[in-house]
Amino acid sequence: MDIQLTEEQHQVRELCRQFADSELRPNARRWDVDHQFPADAVKKLAEMGLMGVAIPAELGGAGMDNVSYAVAMEEISRGCAGTGVIMSVNNSLYCDPVYKFGTPEQKLDFLIPFARGERLGAFALTEPTSGSDAAEMRTVAVKKGNEYVLNGTKNFITNGPQADVVLVFAVTDRSKGHRGTSAFLVPGSVKGFTRSKADEKVGIRASGSCTLFFEDVVLPERFRLGGEGEGFKVAMQTLDGGRIGIAAQALGIAQAAYEEAVAYAKERKAFGQPITQFQAIQFMLADMATEIEAARLLVWRAAWMKDRGIRHSAESAMAKLYASEMCERVTSKAIQVHGGYGYVKEYDVERHWRDSRITEIYEGTSEIQRLVIAANVLKG
Amino acid sequence: MDLDGTEVQRAVAATARKFAVERAGPAAARADREARFPEELVRELGQLGLLAVNVPAAHGGSEAGAVAYAMAVMEIAWADCSLAVTMAVTNMVGETIARFGTEEQKARCLPRLASGEWLAGSFGLSEPQAGSDPNSMSTRADLRGDRWVLNGSKQWITSGDRAGVVIVWARTDVRAGNRGITAFLVEGGTPGLGVGRHEEKMGIRSSSTVSLVLEDCEVPASAVLGDLGHGLRVALAALDGGRIGIASQATGTLRAALDASCRYARERHAFGKPISEFQAIAFALADMRTAHDAARLMTLRAAALKEAGRPFGQEAAMAKLFASEAAQVAASKAVQIHGGYGYIDEFPVERLLRDARVQTIYEGTSEIQRLVIARHVLSQGG
């Protein structure tokens, strides 16, 4: 039993932490207020190999393991949660499935430049009237000869406004239910593909999301990722990994809020002493630290299992469920420790709290995670 | 990172598991009802090497390490929390003697504790008026010639009436405050060591909890454990490890609550289907499982750090706080899932709820754990 980071994983942590402190934290507040995509920071992430962390080096990635990826995600999100999700989507929801399900030709065009971070990917499963229930999907891809014609609408697509290619899920055979959906790699330049303006969000405002429209988009067969009818399998396996990314993001947000709460509590005085002398404050900080550690271990475990090729759906769901709900509690307590200052934009904790809220919703709501875990528990 | 555990760790856990399923589990409900100390089972634990898991083999221990120990306690607690705490305290006493004892003390005590020849070791720190704050301890030891004479009383002593040896803390220098406290090894049956009241407890009923009375209890100078005046160091080191034991116990309790709830929820029907198919029930099971896994990971992490010889005080406090609080929530949920059946002794969950309740109290209350964690947190600057 060894529940520590390796030397290499530790170095990844240090490198990412330094980058977050120097490049992300000083700018995150401005990006949030301006709803601004951090293009320069994303370019630097790419130079550090962080846009394809667990993709082999020969395919443009950094060739590291998934524990390193989780550690990197935590640290980047500690600096800026919006930047974190841009990274998570490109890594987990785009590069990972193309690596796992792509043909050698697809990997040349659709993986290498994305793992290098020269281009940006997105993942489009959710629709205006179908989120967690993929069986309700309306987007269709009708096969005509060697081509598919894609029609439909996808919304809440992170990286949607910037993406060079979007992994789109569509029904190819309605009669087959889950086994009747397929995945497609859709370049942003194809005719009939348009995007709405960016969504106005509560948090993670440095990342962009929008609605995507597909009107008679013609796709050659070679743009299909995985076999026909394999779309649901691609989506679910992808989300098992994606949930590790979001869990790590939640962890990073919570860690940032916690560190700021500790720093503030040490400086702030009340009734003649620093508020750290009061048990009400001490115990909040102790609970925050404890819950963060619990979440971190759940995240590391899921990533470790992924590295070993062990099925980890329930473990990813537990990590994501616990980390995201923990994050909301911890960021809320961080505001409480800050008092009135926690409620104004002079400090970062109000942003952390807003950023935390989405982690309980996207890539499977807490309710969906509980369904996944309960199914696993009751099976056993 | 390696979360599988070594072969030795898995073997110890499997041994404990087999004993839990075949021996401890079937006897637990009755032992609880009758508040009967399971002497025979304790001796069997000794034969299996589970009373001195992390004690050197040279002294009769299993020398399997802190992680194997934590895994074993989880398994035993899954079947019977009372037996788990009896086991945990004896292990803690053995480890403490192995760490601080002289060769002579180790040779005398450890083989007897490990084998079960002595049914238990006890830890005599708490007093009627001094629990979390040992500084207010009033038991004293006075030197008469070359012998120490102990006077005072100790409270909440697990297995105190069964112990072959009790580690007793006493003031050897009343003016030296915290630095005037010394640990002594007092063997069961020593004249002047009396057993007071047997506590009637709401949970962990088949473990024994007594008060001890020391009346001119004389021990030789060789009974001093560790250095004179450094008793608190001995106590704090033992408690750091002890917290891993209680965290393990709580994790086992949590698992028992989850398993019982799953079984019941699959069998019990309402409105034409098993209640496990209602989200209100299924989601409670999901939360219990998530809390269990987090508690287990935190506990094993603290144990792994201890085994690697690294600092683990903060991690042990976090594990103990998290696991014990989570076990209580889970046991309460388990009773809720069982409805009326959860409230009667036909099902194990009411016992789990009573057993879980003490876990946020003993070996440092949750409040003490938070103090320990906060102290670490504030000294690290986050």
Instruction: Quote the pLDDT of residue B353.
Output: 98
Contacts of A243 in chain B (CB under 8 A): none
Which residues, including other chains, have CB under 8 Å from residue A309's CB and lie 6 or more apart?
none
B280 and chain A in contact, CB less than 8 A: no
Are B241 and B268 spatial neighbours (Cβ–Cβ below 8 Å)?
no
Whole-prediction pTM:
0.94
Q: Residues 96..135 of B with a Cβ closer than 8 Å to A: which?
A: none
User: Which of A1, A5, A380 shows the shortest C-beta gap to B5?
Assistant: A1
Region B217-241 average pLDDT: 95
Angstrom distance (rounded) from CA A97 to CA A166: 12
A73: left (phi over 0), alpha (psi -120 to 50) or beta: alpha
CA distance to A133, A134, A153, B167, per residue, from A130 (Å): 6, 6, 10, 64
Q: Are A282 and B371 within 8 A, CB to CB?
A: yes
CA distance to A76, B180, B311, per residue, from B381 (Å): 20, 32, 17
Q: Are B286 and A5 within 8 A, CB to CB?
A: no
Angstrom distance (rounded) from CA B315 to CA B303: 9
Angstrom distance (rounded) from CA B206 to CA B50: 18
Which residues, including other chains, have CB under 8 Å from residue B266's CB and lie 6 or more apart?
A378, B274, B276
Are B77 and B251 spatial neighbours (Cβ–Cβ below 8 Å)?
yes
B375 to chain A: closest CA residue: A282
Are A80 and A206 spatial neighbours (Cβ–Cβ below 8 Å)?
yes
Residue B193 is encoded by which pair of tokens?
């060591």
Q: Categorize the per-residue pLDDT at A134 as very low, low, confident or very high, splitting at 50, 70 and 90.
A: low
Contacts of B308 in chain A (CB under 8 A): 2
CA A92 to chain centre: 7
Contacts of A289 in chain B (CB under 8 A): 318, 373, 377
Q: Are A3 and B285 within 8 A, CB to CB?
A: no
Residue B243 is encoded by which pair of tokens?
């917290």
Question: HEC states along B153-167?
Answer: EEEEEECCCCEEEEE
User: Which of A304, A318, A321 shows the shortest C-beta gap to B3?
Assistant: A304
pLDDT tens, position by position, B354-379: 999 999 999 999 999 999 999 999 99
Backbone angles phi and psi of B168, in degrees to 5: -115, 130
Q: Please give, rounded to a whole number of angstroms, the shortest distance from the CA of B315 to a CA of chain A.
A: 9
Region A97-126 average pLDDT: 98
| Residue at token pair 């670490």 | B376
Are B159 and B89 spatial neighbours (Cβ–Cβ below 8 Å)?
yes
Instruction: Quote the pLDDT of residue A160.
Output: 98
Contacts of B318 in chain A (CB under 8 A): 289-290, 293-294
Contacts of B5 in chain A (CB under 8 A): 1
A300 to chain B: closest CA residue: B1
Q: Are B373 and A286 within 8 A, CB to CB?
A: yes
pLDDT tens, position by position, B85-120: 999 999 999 999 999 999 999 999 999 999 999 999
- Would the pLDDT of A135 be above 80? no
> In residues, how long is chain A?
380
B44 and chain A in contact, CB less than 8 A: no
Contacts of A374 in chain B (CB under 8 A): 276, 282-283, 285-286, 289
Angstrom distance (rounded) from CA B164 to CA B115: 12
Are B139 and B154 spatial neighbours (Cβ–Cβ below 8 Å)?
yes
Q: Categorize the per-residue pLDDT at A178 as very low, low, confident or very high, splitting at 50, 70 and 90.
A: confident
DSSP B229-273: TBHHHHHHHHHHHHHHHHHHHHHHHHHHHHHHHHHHHHH-EETTE
The Cα angle at residue A154 between residues A151 and A158, in degrees rounded to 5: 140
DSSP A99-159: HHH--HHHIIIIIHHHHTTSS-EEEE--BTTBSS-GGG---EEEEETTEEEEEEEEEEEET
Region A117-129 average pLDDT: 96
B363 among known catalytic residues: yes
A317 to chain B: closest CA residue: B290
Pairing of strands B163-171, B120-124: parallel
Amino acid at A273: Q
User: Which of B301, B367, B382 shows the shortest C-beta gap to A263?
Assistant: B382
Region A221-249 average pLDDT: 96
The kind and range of the H/E element at B201 are none
Are B318 and A293 spatial neighbours (Cβ–Cβ below 8 Å)?
yes
* Best residue of B370, B372, B375, B376 to probe chain A, by most A CBs closer than 10 Å: B370
User: Which of A262, A298, A314 shows the shortest C-beta gap to B294?
Assistant: A298
DSSP alpha helix (H) spans, A198-278:
231-267
Instruction: Quote the pLDDT of residue A293.
Output: 98
Contacts of A293 in chain B (CB under 8 A): 298, 315, 318
Of A188, A158, A8, which is closest to residue A84 (Cα–Cα)? Answer: A158
| Residue at token pair 């050659």 | A220
Contacts of A368 in chain B (CB under 8 A): none
Q: In B215-241, which positions are buried (b, 16+ CB within 10 angstroms) versus exposed (e)?
A: eebbbeeebbbbebbbbbbbbebbbbb
Q: How far apart are the first and last CA of chain B?
A: 24
Q: In B318-346, which positions are buried (b, 16+ CB within 10 angstroms) versus exposed (e)?
A: bbbbbbbbbbbbbbbbbbebbeeebeeee
Amino acid at A276: T
B282 and chain A in contact, CB less than 8 A: yes
List the beta bridge partners of residue B225: B183
B381 and chain A in contact, CB less than 8 A: yes
Pairing of strands A165-171, A121-124: parallel
Of A331, A334, A375, which is closest to residue A357 (Cα–Cα)? Answer: A331
Contacts of A315 in chain B (CB under 8 A): 293
Contacts of B322 in chain A (CB under 8 A): 290-291, 294
User: Which of A289, A374, A376 shows the shortest C-beta gap to B377?
Assistant: A289
A294 to chain B: closest CA residue: B294
Q: Residues 330..369 of B with a Cβ closer than 8 Å to A: which?
A: 367, 369
Q: Please give, rounded to a whole number of angstroms, the shortest distance from the CA of B194 to a CA of chain A.
A: 39
* DSSP symbol at A2: B
Region A186-215 average pLDDT: 98
Region A189-201 average pLDDT: 97
Contacts of B258 in chain A (CB under 8 A): 377
Angstrom distance (rounded) from CA A201 to CA A347: 19
pLDDT tens, position by position, A296-352: 999 999 999 999 999 999 999 999 999 999 999 999 999 999 999 999 999 999 999
Region B154-166 average pLDDT: 97
Instruction: Quote the pLDDT of residue A131.
Output: 73
Angstrom distance (rounded) from CA B313 to CA B369: 10
SS3 B71: helix
Q: In B130-153, which positions are buried (b, 16+ CB within 10 angstroms) versus exposed (e)?
A: bbeebeebebbbeeeeeebbbbbb
What is the share, in percent, of chain B residues with pLDDT greater than 70? 99
CA B175 to chain centre: 32
User: Which of B297, B301, B381 shows the shortest C-beta gap to A262?
Assistant: B381
- Would the pLDDT of B135 be above 90? no
| Residue at token pair 């708490």 | B126
Q: Please give, rounded to a whole number of angstroms, the shortest distance from the CA of A15 to a CA of chain B.
A: 19
Instruction: Quote the pLDDT of residue A177.
Output: 87
B11 and chain A in contact, CB less than 8 A: no
Angstrom distance (rounded) from CA A299 to CA A92: 14
The Cα angle at residue A144 between residues A142 and A150, in degrees rounded to 5: 35
Which of B7, B103, B363, B367 does the annotation list as catalytic?
Answer: B363
The kind and range of the H/E element at B214 are strand B209-220
Q: Please give, rounded to a whole number of angstroms, the shortest distance from the CA of A371 to a CA of chain B.
A: 7
Are B15 and B48 spatial neighbours (Cβ–Cβ below 8 Å)?
yes
Q: Residues 288..317 of B with a Cβ closer than 8 Å to A: which?
A: 289-290, 293-295, 297-298, 300-301, 303-305, 307-308, 315
pLDDT tens, position by position, A41-85: 999 999 999 999 999 999 999 999 999 999 999 999 999 999 999
Q: Please give, rounded to a whole number of angstroms, the shortest distance from the CA of A324 to a CA of chain B.
A: 13
CA B198 to chain centre: 18
The Cα angle at residue A334 between residues A328 and A340, in degrees rounded to 5: 120
Q: Across chain B, what does the average pLDDT equal?
A: 96
CA B189 to chain centre: 24
pLDDT tens, position by position, B260-271: 999 999 999 999
Residue A66 is encoded by which pair of tokens?
């998934």
Q: Please give, rounded to a whole number of angstroms, the shortest distance from the CA of B232 to a CA of chain A.
A: 24
The upper half-sphere exposure of residue A333, i.e. CA atoms within 13 Å in the direction of its Cβ, equals 27
CA distance to A77, A175, A210, B136, B137, per residue, from B125 (Å): 46, 71, 63, 11, 8
Sign of CA dihedral A167, A171, A173, A179: positive
B318 to chain A: closest CA residue: A290
Longest alpha-carbon distance in chain B: 80
SS3 B312: coil
Q: Please give, rounded to a whole number of angstroms, the shortest distance from the CA of A241 to a CA of chain B.
A: 18
Contacts of B286 in chain A (CB under 8 A): 321, 369-371, 373-374, 377
Q: Are B371 and A286 within 8 A, CB to CB?
A: yes
B268 and chain A in contact, CB less than 8 A: no
Residue A378 is encoded by which pair of tokens?
């009751």
Residue A187, judged by CB atoms within 10 A of its CB (0-12, 13-18, 19+), counts as middle
pLDDT tens, position by position, B7-47: 999 999 999 999 999 999 999 999 999 999 999 999 999 99
A380 to chain B: closest CA residue: B262
Region A224-253 average pLDDT: 96
Rg of chain A over all Cα atoms, to the nearest angstrom: 21
* Best residue of B322, B333, B378 to probe chain A, by most A CBs closer than 10 Å: B378
Instruction: Quote the pLDDT of residue B382.
Output: 46
B266 to chain A: closest CA residue: A378
Angstrom distance (rounded) from CA B301 to CA B324: 16
